[in-house]
Amino acid sequence: MFQEIYSPVQKIEIDLFDNLFVKRDDLIDPYVSGNKWRKLKYILAKASNENKKHLITFGGAYSNHLVATAAAAARFGFKSTAFVRGEAVQNEMLLLCSLFGMKLIFVDRQSYKNKNLLFKSHFEDDSNAYFIDEGGASKEAVKGCTEIITELNETYDHIFVAAGTGTTAAGLLKAIQYKNLHTILHVIPVLKGGDFIKDEISKYTSISDHLTLHTGFHFGGYAKTTPELIHFIKNFTEKTGMLIDPVYTAKMFYAIADLQRKNIINANDKILAIHTGGLLGILGMKDKF
Ligand SMILES: *Cc1c(COP(=O)(O)O)cnc(C)c1O
């Protein structure tokens, strides 16, 4: 069902960083991008095994997960429907979802909270319907994310990843533990109060010394930015030719530069940053640049 993927490791050669490599999951696909493909891979396999033909999922109006699910559904022969949080809007991300054939159902914030009820009330009689949680969070998603580690040909002292739900981080940690690597996983929650990420990770694997959470790099909260972060993105992109987005990966790269500058991370240590993709998110933040 699934073709080979393209996610090379590249070295970053700018003066901000000493010994930094990037796992380019953003290159996997422009739409089924980065960790969203990692998460969907085994979810789609499971849906397919259960003979389900209609993917039902959930997200906000600028969700990378919705675009990824819509594109993957179209590519692998599924129908797709999404419950979108909030009043009906039009934007670039939702346009892409529609082009890939996804049906959009807008629901108010209160109803959105009970996803199981939404699924049941709309699709109880549809034996083809397959429930995919917001952001794809699931055991299958964690399994897909472990492959980011098992694909690597070298080991690193530190691996960095941005976190929304922590599902991707859980997969990385699980693989680091399983392979008995000396690597420390540094997780950068992009939301305020990111300590909850630990609870999320502990649903899938044990919390160990391999995990460090850095909760101070949210820049005001989810999808919030500051002029400093925007400046960082412009400089980074201009110098490296690699796009990063204000919601996720910019906060991670900023954290790496900051921790190196403060000597919390040793200058000579070998670091791998996971580029989790999601660059379309920039379209929702045009006015910030
Ligand atoms: C969704 C997303 C994340 C967050 O992944 P979680 O598994 O929810 O922590 C990180 N980076 C990008 C680019 C994303 O689109």
Catalytic choice (7, 33, 63, 138): 63
**Ligand 1 within 6 A of 138 CB?**
no
Give a yes or no: residue 211 inside a domain.
yes
Same domain, yes or no: 26 and 41: no
Q: Strand runs (DSSP E) across the chain, as ranges?
A: 9-11, 20-24, 54-59, 79-85, 103-107, 129-131, 158-163, 184-189, 211-213, 271-275
Identify whether residues 104 and 185 lie together within a single domain.
no
Regarding whether 53 and 15 lie in a shared domain, the answer is no
Q: Walk along the chain (289 residues) and give the pLDDT tens digit of each residue.
A: 566 889 999 999 888 888 999 999 999 999 999 999 999 999 999 999 999 999 999 999 999 999 999 999 999 999 999 999 999 999 999 999 999 999 999 999 999 999 999 999 999 999 999 999 999 999 999 999 999 999 999 999 999 999 999 999 999 999 999 999 999 999 999 999 999 999 999 999 999 999 999 999 999 999 999 999 999 999 999 999 999 999 999 999 999 999 999 999 998 899 999 999 999 989 888 899 9
What is the domain-level CATH number for residue 116?
3.40.50.1100
Ligand 1 pocket, residue 144 CB under 6 Å: no
Tokens coding 108? 């108010």
For residues 222 and 246, state if they share a domain: yes
Residue 189 Cβ contacting ligand 1 at under 6 Å: no
Q: Are residues 157 and 274 in the same domain?
A: yes
Task: Judge whether 218 lies within some domain.
Answer: yes
Burial bucket for residue 196 (CB in 10 Å: 0-12, 13-18, 19+)? middle
Q: Which domain holds residue 88?
A: 37-136
| Nearest protein Cα to ligand 1, atom 14 | 278
Residue 263 φ/ψ region, left for φ over 0, alpha for ψ in the -120 to 50 degree band, beta for the rest? left
Among this protein's residues, is 138 annotated catalytic? no
- Measured from the CB, is residue 248 less than 6 Å from ligand 1? yes
**Tens-place pLDDT, residues 156-215:** 999 999 999 999 999 999 999 999 999 999 999 999 999 999 999 999 999 999 999 999
pTM: 0.97
| 83 and 166 co-located in one domain | no
For residues 240 and 277, state if they share a domain: yes
Residue 3 lies in a domain: no
Tell me the CA–centroid distance for residue 92 and ligand 1, in Å. Answer: 19
Q: Are residues 22 and 162 in the same domain?
A: yes
